Amino acid sequence: MKRKILSLIMALTLCMSLAAPVFAEETIIHYAQWDAKEAQLEITNVISVETDKIETAPGSGYFAPCTTYFMSAPATVTYLNTAGGYFALQSITEEARMSKFIYGHDIIPPTIGELVEDIDVSAGSVYHLDVGTYLAYTTADFSAIFLVVGNPNPSTPVPAPTPPAPEPQTVNPTASTVYINGEAKAFEAYNIGGYNYFKLRDLAYVLNGTEKQFEVGYDNDTRAITLTSGESYTAVGGEMVQGDGQSKTATPTPSKIYLDGNELNFTVYNIGGNNFFKLRDLMEAVDVYVGYDNATRAITLDTSKGYVAE
């Protein structure tokens, strides 16, 4: 196929930008965006996808689709279908991608990057991509596909994969004995996914008066749980009430958690109307030592020592 002359136009108007999270590294099939709708590329290690529509010329009123795939390195791109046109694959700068260039016909000029492959790519062609930013362009579709592999520009972080939301689950009480600074305490606690979860207000209650005490608050407007280190805990009633020893349903808590104004990325469960925190998560945040005796299955909390990671 004869190479055509191509034009390069800088987009001035970004009219739509949508980010679609991918919950883990996935292999995604990219389909043509306009009439053909055929599968065109198989792209591995995708962690996030962003779709744009960009004006093809200033004031033209015509918009072309542009999809950006963020991938972990190394990644693989396989051409699946070149019917009705052909592809260009080009290594470009991250600055060129952020400028939202879009393209005229066929191939991309070498002024914005090194050409990896231009015309007459056959179906089944496979390319292994290291860290960098790439442009895949197809004349069958007249749409642009950006491939961001790894993090080629540390000042522009690659969107992190969004973890799946925890599901409600049936949980069983934990059988461990708990010692707070050497004194045995009885808690309502549950084992969730192999970790011990304790009622937040119970832990605040038993640590009150120690050097690691913290206050617990709740913002009704934002539905956020707030923790303030160093402040004495205000009891609300119901602290240290024992459970009935039966299995319970644990439902993920949607509330954001803040310690001294800083958001904590914790998984919290609501059980029977109370918020239960993973013991080690919370003790790490307030810097309390956690020990475990395998022989006696005893948990030790020591406020005179700092937290030590497992």
In angstroms, the CA 148 to CA 144 distance is 13
Give the residue from 307, 305, 229, 237 showing the smallest Cα distance to 274: 237
Strands 214-219 and 8-10: unpaired
- pLDDT tens-digit series, residues 136-151: 766 555 566 888 998 7
0.95 exceeded by the pTM?
no
Average confidence (pLDDT) over 288-298 = 92
Of the segments 48-57, 88-97, 117-126, 294-303, which one has the largest average pLDDT value? 294-303
Q: How much of the chain exceeds pLDDT 70, in percent? A: 67
Q: What's the whole-number mean pLDDT along residues 120-129?
A: 70
pLDDT in tens, 126-135: 888 888 888 8
User: Nearest to residue 132, comparing CAs of 84, 86, 95?
Assistant: 95
pLDDT in tens, 70-85: 999 889 888 776 555 5
pLDDT digits (tens, 9 = 90+) for 220-263: 888 899 999 999 999 999 999 999 999 999 999 989 999 999 99
pLDDT band at residue 299, thresholds of 50, 70 and 90? very high
